[in-house]
Amino acid sequence: MVSKISKRALETPASPIRRLVPYADDAKKRGIQIYYLNIGQPDIKTPKVWYEYIEKYKPEVVAYTHSQGLLELREAFSKYYERHNIQVTADEIMVTNGGSEAIMFALGVVCDPGDEVITIEPFYANYLGFASYLNVKLVPVTAHPEDGYRLPPMSEFEKVVSPKTKAILFSNPSNPTGTVYTYEEMKTIVEFAKKHDLVIISDEVYREFTFDGRKHISIFHFEGIEQQVIMVDSISKRYSACGARIGTFVTKNKEFYKNALKFAQARLCPAETTQFGAIGLLTLGEDYTNSVRDEYQKRRDATYEALKEIPGVVVHKPEGAFYLSAKLPVENAEDFIIWMLKEFNVDGKTTMVSPLSGFYATPGAGMSEIRIAYVLEADKLADAVKILGEGIKVYNSRK
């Protein structure tokens, strides 16, 4: 007899970033070269210091570590945050298996099953998966492509807050839109959280990647909100170390920390070896992060300029992260992406992006929108977007 699948499993959505991979695999088998702009996997080499520190601290036995992470690593994170005017101690930092686990810990500490969390859509698609897994409801407030996906007015937040609302969850800079919230926008969120006694879960994974002179504003840059704040972070994109699976759960609220530690103890510990490597990465300073940021700004410019040339595309220049969201002149972006992989190529090449509908909680929202991860060299990005434009032309001319 086949056992019944749980409601939790059935209602947890598949990743919109990864679920179209089988179509790409089939295209590769046919000899098609694919520009993978669907996933935030940088092509920049992981810094050598990562490997040097793993070798330097190589133990004879790869052992369990403390559930909250190596003290040496937490101290290194504390010094790193201090450079960004974020004052937190090692005892306020918990090392997690990537930023993903930090988000799950945050939702798990703050919410009971059936509780609600307000989020700004489009949002990092896995927020929906994490919330579904924990039986938490994401309640969206919608940002729109026509105004560059800026923070919606607080009147929209007021419409959805309820007695079940426990937190606000968002990323800044934004994955998937590349929007960087200003001090005033962040202050508005802080005041709303204070008014309704909500926890702020601030995803700050892309803090270094802000363009055109913009500065990242951390949730920890505001006073009087410290006990209502959880910051989640990751080294994945900052140091091109996605497979390291090292993130952080950061809070000054001792009760949040103490109870999140129970979750950490249940999963035992982060991997010892990658924690050693992360200590090495955190020795890198502004010279490294500035050079990476400048490279992504070049890639941003190449992607944006090429997209502007495609008739009917609604796009605003991203301000940070390494993503761009745009509205295409097609009815269903996911169908278009599948068609690009199955039926279209230019000189044996095609382009894969992510459908943005999976980054929304509102049913039917974002159907014409896509996310591009500009994680390739600028000339490749320009070619990829050109192919995307040719594809739109052919797709819309079909009878």
Same-domain pairing of 187 and 90:
yes
pLDDT tens digits, 75-90? 999 999 999 999 999 9
pLDDT tens digits, 233-248? 999 999 999 999 999 9
Same-domain pairing of 200 and 330:
no
The answer to whether residue 276 sits within a structural domain is yes
Could you report the average pLDDT of every consecutive run of 10 residues in the chain (399 residues)? 79 82 95 96 95 94 96 98 98 98 98 98 96 96 97 98 98 98 98 98 98 97 97 97 97 98 98 97 96 98 97 97 98 97 98 96 97 97 98 92
Kindly report the CATH number assigned to the domain that includes residue 385. 3.90.1150.10
Kindly report the CATH number assigned to the domain that includes residue 95. 3.40.640.10
The answer to whether residue 53 sits within a structural domain is no
The answer to whether residue 173 sits within a structural domain is yes
Phi, psi of 344, rounded to the nearest 5 degrees: -125, 140
Rounded alpha-carbon distances, angstroms, from residue 250 to 119, 179, 197, 268: 19, 23, 19, 18
Same-domain pairing of 102 and 28:
no
Domain finish residue from 281, 302, 317: 281
Closest CA to 97 of 218, 249, 205: 249
Please state, in angstroms and rounded to a whole number, the distance separating the CA atoms of residues 134 and 45.
35
pLDDT tens digits, 123-142? 999 999 999 999 999 999 99
CB 126 within 8 A of CB 234: no
- Domain range for residue 205? 62-281
CB 27 within 8 A of CB 34: yes
Cα angle 263, 265, 266 (rounded to 5 degrees) comes to 65
Same-domain pairing of 157 and 235:
yes
What is the model's pLDDT at position 19? 84
The number of domains in the chain is 2
The answer to whether residue 2 sits within a structural domain is no
Same-domain pairing of 223 and 306:
no
What is the model's pLDDT at position 26? 96
Same-domain pairing of 79 and 41:
no
